[in-house]
Amino acid sequence: MSDSKLEYVAGAREKPCANAPVDIIFVHGLTGDLKGTWTHSNGEFWPSWLAADFPAANVYSAGYDSSVFSSFMKGGGASLADRATILLDRLASRPSRGRPILFITHSLGGLIVKQMLRKSLDASSERHKAIGRSTVGVIFIATPHQGAEFAKAVNRIIGLATTKTIRELERGGDQLVDLGIWFSNWAGKSELNVECYYEVEKTKTVLVVDQTTANPNVLGCDPVAIQADHISITKLVDRDAQLYQSISTVITDLLATTAASDDSGGGGDAVIESEYNAFTSQAPSDRRTLAEKLTATGRQAEIVWAEKQKERFSMTLQRNIAQPSAVRQYTRLMSNIETRYRRYVGPLIADGTDGATIDHALQESVLDPCLKAHDADGGEGTSGLVDSAFYYLAGNCHVSWDNG
């Protein structure tokens, strides 16, 4: 690979969604590439699993000529800062560069991302600044934050001579220390979501990144052990792999937190009353009945169930109309459903995605998180309650199964 690249990973969609809630960007490390680093010997490329399991998100894999690190560590070639600058400009050139970003990094890819974020926030260009400002999380996989004999380990693995550059990358080297202090402070102030993982098996008799080395020293981030070596740690056999399960949970929680923050708003009872009145009235944009809308999208089999669910929630609202706390809870529930539906399901419908994928996104990205949020809000929720609230909103034309 002669230049940096940013490849879209197709999942539910063949092209990126302009309204996606987040861009998930993979950045490989030393001797890696944008496909091989993340591909198991069985051919499984796990970024594509995330693209399928989180269909509303855009997933990308960033690539660069990792052989430059051999030259760099020998004392010449592109430096860590050079690679960071190239990646920054590549990301700033993509569409919708202000969209929230979650980075998933391996080894030195994590250091590149840290340096890139620093350069972004120090940049005079607004398009470059936008990358750092829009970053909501970084996941480090076997990234050598502290040095911890990292350069010596690399020397033993790929046969590099000991140079000044290598010595600077060892424990206590000024370059890593300065970058680490900056990132730790910035991540804490910005409330960045940071996760990290480290290997427990040796690579060619060398434990490349241990628990201490993998720790970015960010409050709330505790290094997690993975039963793998420095190379195999990013090559996952299936979705049951510990790393995939853990990262999937991180992404789910991150998306739920982002949506909850968007939905919380402010303004007290006046806002709640206004939203309640809006949700309990039919939206003027679409006057079709619930049955007509379901029929238009080939969901005739759901009509009887959907109308019963809609009526069920209507009766729930009527029973609790005199209880302000209940009205607030149900209004927040409806607001959460509408917001998440528009964010995670609406783009799929607009792209003509198949019904099975849409149903999966509805359950995983709307109904389940809304039930969790309703419970956290003090409500006594069930999946049936959330279903009924959804069909109530559909009946009042606040969510739509089609582009009508």
Lowest mean pLDDT among 115-124, 228-237, 362-371, 392-401: 392-401
Contact, 8 vs 60, CB < 8 A?
A: yes
Residue 224: the pLDDT is: 97
Residue 1: the pLDDT is: 43
Contact, 95 vs 16, CB < 8 A?
A: yes
**Residue 269: is its pLDDT beyond 60?**
no
Identify the helix (H) or strand (E) that includes residue 142.
none
Give φ, ψ of 199 to 5 degrees.
Answer: -85, 155
Task: Check residues 381 and 232 and name the one with the higher pLDDT.
Answer: 232
Lowest mean pLDDT among 43-57, 195-209, 341-355: 341-355
**Residue 259: is its pLDDT beyond 60?**
no
Residue 30: the pLDDT is: 72
**CA dist 191 → 69, 136, 185, 186, 255 (Å):** 31, 8, 10, 8, 15
**Residue 68: is its pLDDT beyond 80?**
no
Residue 264: the pLDDT is: 47
Rounded Cα distance between 155 and 108, Å, is 14
Residue 178: the pLDDT is: 86
Q: pTM value?
A: 0.64
Contact, 211 vs 180, CB < 8 A?
A: no
Mean pLDDT computed over 199-225:
91
**Residue 267: is its pLDDT beyond 50?**
no
Contact, 63 vs 4, CB < 8 A?
A: yes
pLDDT, tens digit (0-9, with 9 covering 90-100), for 141-189? 999 887 545 666 666 655 554 454 455 555 445 677 888 999 999 998 8
Lowest mean pLDDT among 70-74, 329-333, 356-360: 70-74
Dihedral Cα 98, 101, 107, 111, nearest 10 deg? 40
By C-alpha distance, which of 181, 186, 154 is closest to 169?
A: 154
Percent of the chain with pLDDT over 70: 80
**Tell me, what DSSP letter sits at residue 161?**
P
Contact, 197 vs 234, CB < 8 A?
A: no
The two counts, helices (H) then strands (E), for the chain are: 18, 7
**Residue 294: is its pLDDT beyond 60?**
yes
Residue 24: the pLDDT is: 96
Residue 150: the pLDDT is: 64
Rounded Cα distance between 22 and 25, Å, is 10
Lowest mean pLDDT among 60-74, 122-136, 210-224, 288-302: 60-74
Residue 298: the pLDDT is: 83
What is the radius of gyration, based on Cα positions, of the chain?
24
Residue 218: the pLDDT is: 94
Sequence-distant (≥ 6) Cβ neighbours of residue 268 within 8 angstroms:
none
Residue 266: the pLDDT is: 42
Q: Is 191 exposed, middle or buried (0-12, 13-18, 19+ CB in 10 A)?
A: exposed
**Residue 281: is its pLDDT beyond 50?**
yes
Instruction: Identify the residue whose tokens are 């590149």.
Output: 112
Contact, 132 vs 120, CB < 8 A?
A: yes
In DSSP notation, 245-258 reads HHHHHHHHHHHHHH
Instruction: Name beta bridge partners: 98.
Output: none
**Residue 324: is its pLDDT beyond 80?**
no
Residue 205: the pLDDT is: 83
Rounded Cα distance between 26 and 380, Å, is 39
Give the mean pLDDT of the chain: 82
**Residue 72: is its pLDDT beyond 70?**
no
In order of their start, the domains of the chain are: 5-259 (3.40.50.1820), 265-395 (no CATH)
Contact, 386 vs 371, CB < 8 A?
A: yes
Residue 137: the pLDDT is: 95
Query: Number of C-alpha atoms within 13 angstroms, CB side, residue 148?
Result: 17
Mean pLDDT computed over 309-338:
83
Residue 169: the pLDDT is: 58
pLDDT, tens digit (0-9, with 9 covering 90-100), for 2-13? 457 899 998 877
Query: Number of C-alpha atoms within 13 angstroms, CB side, residue 286?
Result: 19
Give φ, ψ of 106 to 5 degrees.
Answer: -125, 135
Residue 70: the pLDDT is: 52
Residue 151: the pLDDT is: 64
In DSSP notation, 211-260 reads HHHH----TT---EEESS-TTGGG--SSTTSHHHHHHHHHHHHHHHHHHH
